[in-house]
Amino acid sequence: MAHPSQLGFQDAASPVMEELLHFHDHALMIVFMISTLVLYIIVAMVSTSLTNKYILDSQEIEIIWTILPAVVLILIALPSLRILYLMDEINDPHLTIKALGHQWYWSYEYTDYEELGFDSYMIPTQDLTPGQFRLLETDHRMVVPSESPVRVLVTAEDVLHSWAVPALGVKMDAVPGRLNQTAFIASRPGVFYGQCSEICGANHSFMPIVVEAVPLQHFENWSSLMLEDA
């Protein structure tokens, strides 16, 4: 998860997030090169007193500074479009979960099971145990099997919300009356935190999301226990 003074993204916990990190680094290098070139030109123009009559009218330079930006845009656009299509791809999910946003908590329904669903509320600061994170812990975590494709159907009951978990590269708006879907694969077991990412009222900051990825056998044991309790 994020830590104080962190400059970059969180460590990737899904293949899509790894692709997003690589694209971020790719785009950042292009920005650095453009910035360096512009800075060099500014310094050269300010500091030198040399003149060249051909600089005032040069077809070659105009061709270069027209084609070069087009090439740069293509180098950014093609990887970007590839990742957009990857993020939209949902192939044979092993598990489907419906995430329902409320003011101000989340409800989860495991639609592959008949009676498996629960509400997920933030744990108040005074009830936290040592090692738990303030404003991020919930009383019920969304438990998923690791290394398995999971589809999340996202909607809301009252106002706009947004279901977002940065480490998994997932962010999807929850719109009343509309069912949006997204998918992810947790690359490794772990606990991944997120928060509602759409201003939704007075307690917008107090409806965190906690996704716990566990091995498949542990997930089956957990689902059996939840069904027995229900």
Domain boundaries, the chain: 15-49+57-88, 95-229
Q: What per-residue confidence (pLDDT) applies to 56?
A: 66
- Please check whether residue 20 is in contact with residue 169, taking contact to mean a CB–CB distance below 8 angstroms: yes
Q: Which amino acid is at 174?
A: A
Q: Please say if the pLDDT value at position 119 is more than 90.
A: yes
- For residue 210, what are the CA distances in angstroms to 12, 48, 131, 190? 16, 58, 15, 10
Which tokens hold the place of 79?
Answer: 């990887």
- Split at pLDDT 50, 70, 90, the class of 78 is very high
Share of the chain above pLDDT 70, in %: 97
Q: What per-residue confidence (pLDDT) applies to 146?
A: 93
In sequence order, what are the residues at sequence separation of 6 or more whose Cβ sits closer than 8 angstroms to the Cβ of residue 173?
154, 160, 161, 162, 180, 198
Q: Looking at 50-59, 107-116, 125-134, which range is the least confident one? A: 50-59
Q: What per-residue confidence (pLDDT) applies to 195?
A: 94
Mean pLDDT of the chain: 91
Q: Which fold has domain 95-229?
A: Immunoglobulin-like (2.60.40)
Number of Cβ within 10 Å of residue 198's Cβ equals: 17
Alpha helices by DSSP H, the chain: 15-47, 59-87, 216-229
- Split at pLDDT 50, 70, 90, the class of 69 is very high
The closest alpha carbon to 135, from 160, 104, 112, 111, belongs to: 104
The mean pLDDT value for 103-116 works out to 92
CA dihedral in degrees (183, 187, 190, 193; nearest 10)? -40
- Split at pLDDT 50, 70, 90, the class of 191 is very high
The mean pLDDT value for 41-64 works out to 79
Number of Cβ within 10 Å of residue 178's Cβ equals: 10
Strand 149-156 to 95-102 pairing:
parallel
Bridge partner list, 117: 109
- Please check whether residue 208 is in contact with residue 105, taking contact to mean a CB–CB distance below 8 angstroms: no
